[in-house]
Amino acid sequence: MRLGGKRPEFAGYRINRYSLRFLDEAFESRFQASWIKATAPTLRVWAACGLAFYMIYSGLLAIFLPDGHANGVLIRFGLVIPLLLLAQYPLLNLQKHSYYLPLSFICSAVLAYTTALYSFVTASAGCCHQVYLLEMAAIFVFCQSYVRIQFPIVVIFTLVAGILTIAAVAIFPTILDAPVIFLVAIVAALGLTGCFSAMTRELFIRRNYWSIQNLKTEYDRVEIMAQEALKASQKKSQFVGVVSHELRTPLNAIIGYSDAIKSGLFGPIAEPRVNEYLSDINSSGHQLLELVNDILDITKATEGNTVLAEQPIEIQGFLAETCRSFDIQLGENGLHLSIAGNHDMPSLQADPKLLRQMISNLVSNAIKFTPPGGSIALTYDVDEDGQVRLSVNDTGIGIAPEKLEKALEMFEQVDEDISRRHGGAGIGLALTKKLMELHNGFVEIESTPGIGTTASLVFPVSRVVADDNDNGIRNDDGNDYVERSKLNKKPHLSLVEAA
């Protein structure tokens, strides 16, 4: 009989159809040790209950049937009960005496049952033989239901006890006021019921044990695979980091030399196409360097190596200064960018460099996927839950609802055709998500295809700080970015304050 599964490592764990033992002896030994350890308390309680029942029943016989039970009482209390107590010795330390457990059971069953049978046969005519039949039936059921006895022993006990009972009644027909066939029917019913119960119990216990071992093996396998995957991921991240660092040096050289040549540092260039090619080289170098930097940033964020340099940030001035770098790009694409928010907006405790990077990623995506003539709006406010919400709203192509989660996954493209037309490696939003997690916040995206997309950076209440008398924020060098009165200077950037 096969116990589930077809994996090669479990192919040998079959059960003998007669003894119900595992054919793999090593596995059988582990099962025996495990099951004895698990059921030791139950075994002791079961044996104690059986002994208590036997002693109480013997005492009741001595009280209510004294005339016909004098010899039986002497045998029970003088010989059988002490021997029964002695037979339970292996239960005191099952781990050490587990091999004596079947012998302990056989001795106890034989002593109790044969004593009851002896009382049944030798009782005087005036005694109620039915009392002894009930005792024999109780011992019969108790022994068949013994928690840890194996199925073959139960079968042997059932056959021996049944044969002895029927033989006793056949030899002494006067002790039973009914045809022997009725006793045979009762013994057969009890025997078959007990054996079937023992068989199903044994099979269930063994199948359950096999399933648990199978699960443990699979868990160990999965854990090993997970560790290997983690190591592979770490090696991949290290490789990406090393390659990215190695790429930055030649890229900086390409960008630097192309800038120098374009500026006329080495003299004028007569051929116009050379200037055009230099512009393309310089632009491509900047794009590639930006991609390399994004890969390095997301690698550090994924590995937990990014350290926040936090400081209070005045949102209005910060957004205006950050978005100035997109003015040329906005003009080339025919887009209009506006900034609107509550002028009572409190400062935000965050890393200015990372916040600038996150906002730039969202604005870059909005520019990329918004057709000419469209508009992009940056809004900032504190929502009803006290969270700071910085949102970038565009009138672009939008994202289908079922693809919103995919948009935040690393190296994922929401729409391959559209993404390939507009370029991009699928890093920006994933990096923004990681950086927001470092700030204990999250990214929220709402989009309708053909209408536009709203991407929001949501910061927790714990990052809201009270404004002092500062009219701006300071950059990494400690210099003011810009005063509020000097914000609206670029043709494609407008600032609107909402009361």
pLDDT in tens, 86-103: 888 888 887 777 778 788
Length of the chain measured in residues: 499
330: three-class secondary structure by DSSP:
helix
- With tokens 């009989």, the residue in question is 1
pLDDT one-digit tens code per residue, 383-400: 888 889 999 999 888 887
pLDDT one-digit tens code per residue, 238-267: 776 677 667 777 877 887 878 777 777 777
pLDDT one-digit tens code per residue, 16-29: 888 888 888 888 88
Intervals of the chain under pLDDT 70? 1-13, 66-71, 124-128, 147-148, 174, 240-241, 244-245, 297-305, 407-426, 466-499
- With tokens 């160990």, the residue in question is 220
**Type of residue at 373:** G
Q: Which pLDDT belongs to residue 390?
A: 92
Handedness of CA 91, 96, 99, 100 (dihedral sign): negative
For the chain, how are helix, strand and coil distributed in percent, rounded to 5? 65, 10, 25
Q: Which pLDDT belongs to residue 457?
A: 93
Q: Which pLDDT belongs to residue 473?
A: 41
- With tokens 């030791």, the residue in question is 40
pLDDT one-digit tens code per residue, 157-168: 888 888 888 888
Q: Which pLDDT belongs to residue 8?
A: 41
Q: Contact at 8 Å (CB) between 105 and 146?
A: yes
Residues 6+ apart with CB under 8 A from 432: 357, 358, 361, 362, 443, 457
Taking the C-alpha atoms of residue 486 and residue 499, their distance in angstroms, rounded to an integer, is 19
Q: Which two tokens stand for residue 482?
A: 């810009």
Q: Which pLDDT belongs to residue 198?
A: 86
As a CATH number, domain 311-498 is 3.30.565.10
Taking the C-alpha atoms of residue 116 and residue 129, their distance in angstroms, rounded to an integer, is 11
- What DSSP string runs through 157-169? HHHHHHHHHHHHH
Taking the C-alpha atoms of residue 198 and residue 205, their distance in angstroms, rounded to an integer, is 11
User: pTM for the complete prediction?
Assistant: 0.49
Domain spans of the chain, in order of start: 8-222, 311-498
Taking the C-alpha atoms of residue 125 and residue 68, their distance in angstroms, rounded to an integer, is 8
Q: Which pLDDT belongs to residue 470?
A: 44
- With tokens 């194996």, the residue in question is 150
